Amino acid sequence: MSELAALAGEIHACCRCPRLVAWREEAARTKRAAYRDETYWGRPVAGFGDPKARVLLVGLAPAAHGGNRTGRVFTGDRSGDFLFGALHRAGFANQAESRNRGDGLELHDAYVTAIVRCAPPANRPSADERAECQGWLEAELDLLANARVAVALGGEAWRQLLRVFRERGLAAPRPAPRFGHGVEAAVGEWTLLGAYHPSQQNTFTGRLTPAMLDAVLGRARELAASSA
């Protein structure tokens, strides 16, 4: 078993946050009507992707009827459709959509994860819940030895990554760079890129377009190539 697979097993067994445990299990019991015949994952969701990835993409948390259902982050919902379509266009994924854990999706030179591993009520984890999950993100960073480019999908991921990098002793700009789409910051040996989260709130309103996400992923590929 690989170290990342062993870590995933530990993440899947986590029960540290009572509120999140209750919510993820309630969603798995009640289900959405469209998925009433499916068995929900209903557990914490680990990251996944290429163990040799140079690009790390970090979101907020699995969706109650997306990743909490499928067991894979950004899978089985509109946000995932938008993200994996962009990853496919950029050459990071072998297919443009992901419906379940066994659908054949493979990531190349990219690894996708989240700062919180359980679906939170109203998609809003508390500060304590983010802090409890921070160790899982740090453990993934330790095992992704080639990763030097981090794409923060949303402001929460941006701020959490900056916090993690600083606590690991990496030199970061001060004052802290503010999140924005396309913003770029050097943090030690890492480059942090900001991208609006591919939520329906952003994609349906045109705040985030395919071209905008393509541009950030294209920049991530350029930076990864220069770090090789």
Mean pLDDT of the chain: 96
Of the candidate ranges 43-52, 66-75, 80-89, 96-105, the one whose mean pLDDT is the lowest = 96-105
Q: What is the greatest pairwise CA distance in the chain?
A: 51
Kindly report, residue by residue over 120-135, the tens digit of the pLDDT: 999 999 999 999 999 9
Q: What is the pLDDT of residue 12?
A: 98
H-state helical runs in the chain: 3-12, 18-30, 67-70, 78-89, 127-143, 155-167, 200-203, 210-227
Residue the block writes with tokens 């916090």: 163
- Say whether pLDDT at 92 is over 80: yes
Q: What's the half-sphere exposure (Cβ side, CA atoms, 13 Å) at 2? A: 11
State the pLDDT confidence band at 1, using cuts at 50, 70 and 90: low
pLDDT of residue 173: 82
- How many angstroms separate the CA atoms of 111 and 95, rounded? 15
| Averaged pLDDT for residues 175-201 | 96
Phi and psi (nearest 5°) for 129? -70, -40
| Residue 112 near residue 100 (C-beta atoms within 8 A) | no
CA 200 vs CA 32, 48, 58, 96, 102: distances in Å: 17, 23, 17, 17, 25
Instruction: Kindly tell me if the per-residue pLDDT of 208 is higher than 80.
Output: yes
Percentage of the residues of the chain whose pLDDT score is greater than 90 = 93
Domain count, the chain: 1
Give tens-digit pLDDT for 5-25: 999 999 999 999 999 999 999
Q: In which order are the strands placed within the sheet that holds 184-187?
A: 48-49, 110-114, 55-59, 149-153, 190-195, 184-187
- Looking at residue 83, its amino acid is L
* 3 pLDDT more than 70: yes
Band (pLDDT 50/70/90 cuts) for residue 171 is confident
Integer Cα distance of 161 and 152 in angstroms: 8
Whether omega for the bond prior to residue 175 falls within 30 degrees of 0, making it cis, is yes
Name residue 186's beta-bridge partners.
191
Tell me which residue range forms the domain holding 115: 3-227
pLDDT exceeds cutoff 90 at 162: yes
**CATH code (residue 65):** 3.40.470.10
Secondary structure element (H or E) that encloses residue 42, with its range: none
